[in-house]
Structure 1
Amino acid sequence: MLRLWGRMSSINVRKVVWAVQELGLPSVQRTDAGGQFGIVREPRFLALNPNGLVPLVEDEDTGAVLWESNTIVRYLCARHSLGNLYPEDLPARFVAEQWMDWQQTTLNPAGRDAFLQWIRTPAAQRNDALIAASVAVTEPLMALLDAHLARQPFMAGERFTMADIPVACEIHRWWGLPQERPARPHLERWYLAVSSRTGAIGVLDQPLS
């Protein structure tokens, strides 16, 4: 049994749900947590994740308790798809790792303010300057991705790997904002391919909230 805590409105929870579905794991129990669902400040939850954030995963088979989304994706792919979603070749593995880290440390912070203003801030309270600043730093990163994907079909090379999951979740969030965006043909080709995967059902076809 794999236990997962987290609400589907969280981009980080969506990554883990996609990984679970991509791997076809049969025994997963997800509990809505965080935001309006609470739970994350309860003593039992904090004992497992002192950060009080989602997602949180508890793997009863191995005893692993993990709470960073990209780490959870890596763990699940390494355990259940070694040599496929989790590349076994060391250089290939760390190419995938670097893009996962880049999503979390570079792409996500760049787009955060625009997302928070458009989706989680009432219209009368929105700060247009924050949105503009977020767009200004995010669109060059989108151009970088488009150029990268002009050279290869997937984030880490010739096939779909764990690296595609967090980046695609970020693109889903950015392209879901009600704002104009430049055409990115290579990024659009890749996103269509990954979002059409069975594992992405219920993840990349959901509205932002």
Structure 2
Amino acid sequence: MLKIWGRPNSTNVKKALWAAAELDLEYEHIIAGGAHGIVDTPEFRALNPNGLVPVIEDDGFILWESNAIARYLAAKYGVGKLWIDDAARRADAEKWMDWASTTLASPFVDIIWHTVRLPEDKRDPAIKARGVTAFAKALEVPEKALSGQPWLSGAEFGIGDIPLGVFVYAWMELPIDRPEFPHLTAWYKRLQERPAYARSVMTPLT
């Protein structure tokens, strides 16, 4: 059986859980990371020497890095679902996975840590504001893309929607001031209608 290590409030872990849920895969979820520990044990470091989550084990195959995990699960189990056979269309969808990780991760950390994760006396409003500004500026890119197609993956939902979909859940639900992005908001509403998204992503942020 597929095993997934990671804490359920982790943005990166949610990608793996969501991909597995979209594919109706049975899996064992092993809570690890943050306050749950485990990641510094020799046993876990043998799985991922970086000591980070998520990590999966699938029939003896060990894999870490959240986007790689989503791609792997889609390729192995998602033919006709998450996987896109056409190489050009697949690459066009997958670029959003890497874009979300390289462009949104840094401002996202500033936002979530200085909104909910840190004790109130440790939160810095200036850092939070800087993160919100940078995140909002970046969202102008998918907002434009979604004005001409329903999903980042194209005409149908696919793996390209997963990383940003996880980030946007926090963006939409945290108590922050957000500019209006009508196409992104409509896309988020479509995500909320997916049972796998509701079960795997729409969970507590702390």
TM-score range, shorter chain: over 0.9
**How far apart, in 1, do the equivalents of 2:125 and 2:182 lie?**
28
Task: Using the TM superposition, give the Cα deviation of residue 203 of structure 1 relative to its aligned residue in structure 2, in angstroms.
Answer: 2.4
Long gaps (5+) in structure 2: none
> Partner residue of 2:56?
57
> Partner residue of 1:134?
131
> Partner residue of 2:16?
16
Greater displacement, 5-14 / 174-183: 174-183
Query: Does the 8 Å contact 1:83/1:89 carry over to 2?
Result: no
Q: Does 1:145 align with 2:142?
A: yes
CA-to-aligned-CA distance 1:99-150 (integer Å, 9 cap, x gap): 0000111112222201111111112221111111111211111222211100
Q: 1:187 aligns with which of 162, 179, 184?
A: 184
Query: Does the 8 Å contact 1:56/1:67 carry over to 2?
Result: yes
**How far apart, in 2, do the equivalents of 1:112 and 1:179 lie?**
14
What is the SS of the residue equivalent to 1:202?
Answer: helix
Query: Does the 8 Å contact 2:19/2:162 carry over to 1?
Result: yes
Runs of 4+ in structure 1 off by over 3 angstroms are: none
TM-score, normalised to structure 2, is 0.96
> Partner residue of 1:198?
195
Query: Does the 8 Å contact 2:21/2:200 carry over to 1?
Result: no
> Partner residue of 1:106?
103
Query: Does the 8 Å contact 2:54/2:66 carry over to 1?
Result: yes
Task: Using the TM superposition, give the Cα deviation of residue 83 of structure 1 relative to its aligned residue in structure 2, in angstroms.
Answer: 4.6
**How far apart, in 1, do the equivalents of 2:200 and 2:29 lie?**
14
What is the SS of the residue equivalent to 2:43?
Answer: helix
Q: Does 1:125 align with 2:122?
A: yes
Query: Does the 8 Å contact 2:23/2:81 carry over to 1?
Result: no
CA-to-aligned-CA distance 1:77-105 (integer Å, 9 cap, x gap): 00011353111101011112110000111
Query: Does the 8 Å contact 2:74/2:159 carry over to 1?
Result: yes
Count, aligned residues: 206
TM-score, normalised to structure 1, is 0.95
Q: 1:93 aligns with which of 71, 79, 90?
A: 90
The AA in structure 1 aligned to 2:34 is G
**How far apart, in 2, do the equivalents of 1:170 and 1:161 lie?**
16
Query: Does the 8 Å contact 1:176/1:207 carry over to 2?
Result: no
Identical amino acids, percent of aligned pairs: 41
Long gaps (5+) in structure 1: none
CA RMSD of aligned residues (A): 1.2
